[in-house]
């Protein structure tokens, strides 16, 4: 039993490595089903063999044999549904949304992964992530002068005795006008740590909130015909037709991407209610700051791949 427990760690690591490899392979494809379930039979076989009287070699052989099998998840996972049929939020349901052009004409459809765009919305996680972002970007250059840093006050202002007044050693003491400050702020960093899992969950919650509120749009591309403010204004007005107010965050694949890039940023430079950000820099604060979020198809693919990538990949060796 002791030998079996010692081998449990390497077997589970091997099963987890198979899980991470299959998840990475599935994230690169267009399928939105979580391929992490593909390696669950291998882990289950290893645990089952470890819990019985089988030898460690038999357990390892069973885990490797089952890991090579390909499991069909079409009968296990629910089929994607149109976003109009979504009745409740937070059930990890894949959603089919329309894809628009810059004139809001539907040109196709896109499947949003339920593990990213339909997770339960947790306001506490959103609060933690926003607080972490604001604290991290705070400059922390505040500074006051103490009694030893204020200019002057090098001599004793009056004799110790005989004047009938209080005893003073310097005119730059804190109780004097123009004196130093006691326990004042000093330059420091306000940043604090936040686990990567919490940060990723906060981004998923923000994306799920925009999806549930029907304020997430998928477009084929955001590159304007010409980099002019008039062109960008017409495109945004067409995309936000019927919106109560114009406040939108545009997200493309990268600053040099073909779906937006530099022409997009030059055209919206004079629009204070429009922001543009690449998918690599998409964050919770920017999403919640604007009413609408517009993603390009390429940005949605890259974002889905990034959020499905393992935070801490398993090592190849057990």
Instruction: Indicate if the pLDDT at residue 29 is higher than 80.
Output: no
Q: Percentage of the chain surpassing pLDDT 90?
A: 68
Secondary structure class of 310 (helix, strand, coil)? coil
pLDDT tens string 96-126:
999 999 999 999 999 999 999 999 999 999 9
pLDDT tens string 252-300:
999 999 999 999 999 999 999 999 999 999 999 999 999 999 999 999 9
Q: 222: number of CA atoms within 13 Å, CB side?
A: 38
pLDDT tens string 198-250:
999 999 999 999 999 999 999 999 999 999 999 999 999 999 998 988 899 99
Instruction: Indicate if the pLDDT at residue 26 is higher than 70.
Output: no
Q: Is the dihedral of CA 213, 219, 221, 226 positive or negative?
A: negative
Helices (H), 155-259: 196-212, 229-239
pTM equals: 0.74
Q: What is the Cα 130 distance to its own chain's centre? A: 11
In 132-166, which positions are buried (b, 16+ CB within 10 angstroms) versus exposed (e)? bbeeeeeeeeeeeeebeebeebeeeeeeeeeeeee
Q: Which residues contact 287 (CB under 8 A, 6 or more apart)?
A: 203, 206, 207, 210, 249, 293
Q: Which two tokens stand for residue 156?
A: 């004793």
Q: How many CB atoms lie within 10 A of CB 82?
A: 11
Which of the four pLDDT bands, split at 50, 70 and 90, describes residue 77? confident
> What's the DSSP call for residue 70?
P
DSSP per-residue letters across 83-113: GGG--SSSS---EEEEEE-TT--EEEEEEEP
Which of the four pLDDT bands, split at 50, 70 and 90, describes residue 195? very high
Cα 62 to Cα 11, 56, 187, 298, distances in angstroms: 10, 10, 59, 40
pLDDT tens string 80-99:
999 988 889 999 999 999 99
Q: According to the model, what pLDDT value does residue 61 have? A: 72
**In the chain, what are the domains?**
1-24+31-78 (no CATH), 80-138+193-318 (3.40.1370.10), 143-188 (no CATH)
Instruction: Indicate if the pLDDT at residue 162 is higher than 80.
Output: yes
Measuring CA to CA, which residue among 88, 84, 76 is closest to residue 109?
A: 84
Instruction: Indicate if the pLDDT at residue 16 is higher than 60.
Output: no
Contact 225, 232 (CB under 8 A): no
Q: According to the model, what pLDDT value does residue 43 have? A: 54
Q: According to the model, what pLDDT value does residue 312 have? A: 85
Q: According to the model, what pLDDT value does residue 112 have? A: 96
Instruction: Indicate if the pLDDT at residue 56 is higher than 80.
Output: no
Q: Which comes out higher in pLDDT, residue 92 or 316?
A: 92
Q: Which two tokens stand for residue 92?
A: 């990890």
């Amino acid at each position: 039993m002791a030998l079996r427990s010692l081998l449990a760690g390497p077997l589970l690591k091997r099963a987890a490595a198979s899980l991470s490899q299959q998840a990475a392979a599935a994230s690169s494809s267009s399928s939105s089903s979580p391929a992490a379930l593909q390696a669950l039979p291998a882990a289950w076989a290893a645990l089952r063999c470890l819990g019985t009287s089988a030898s460690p070699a038999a357990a390892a052989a069973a885990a490797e044999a089952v890991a090579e099998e390909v499991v069909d998840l079409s009968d296990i996972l629910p089929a994607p549904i149109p976003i109009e049929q979504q009745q409740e939020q937070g059930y990890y349901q894949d959603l089919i949304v329309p894809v628009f052009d810059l004139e809001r004409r539907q040109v196709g459809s896109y499947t949003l992964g339920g593990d990213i765009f339909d997770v339960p919305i947790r306001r506490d996680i959103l609060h933690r992530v926003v607080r972490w972002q604001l604290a991290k970007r705070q400059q922390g250059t505040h500074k006051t002068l103490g009694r030893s840093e204020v200019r002057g006050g090098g001599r004793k202002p009056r004799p110790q005795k005989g004047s009938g007044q209080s005893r003073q050693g310097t005119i730059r003491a804190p109780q004097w006008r123009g004196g130093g400050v006691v326990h004042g702020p000093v330059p420091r960093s306000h940043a604090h740590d936040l686990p990567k899992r919490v940060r990723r969950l906060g981004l998923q919650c923000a994306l799920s909130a925009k999806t549930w509120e029907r304020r997430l749009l998928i477009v084929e591309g955001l590159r304007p015909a010409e980099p002019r403010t008039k062109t960008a204004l017409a495109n945004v007005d067409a995309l936000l037709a019927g919106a109560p107010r114009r406040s939108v965050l545009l997200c493309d694949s990268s600053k040099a991407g073909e779906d937006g890039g530099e022409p997009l940023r030059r055209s919206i430079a004079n629009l204070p209610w429009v922001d543009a950000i690449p998918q690599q820099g998409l964050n919770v604060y920017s999403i919640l700051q604007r009413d609408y979020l517009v993603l390009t198809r390429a940005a949605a693919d890259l974002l889905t791949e990034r959020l499905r990538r393992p935070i801490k990949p398993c090592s190849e060796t057990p």
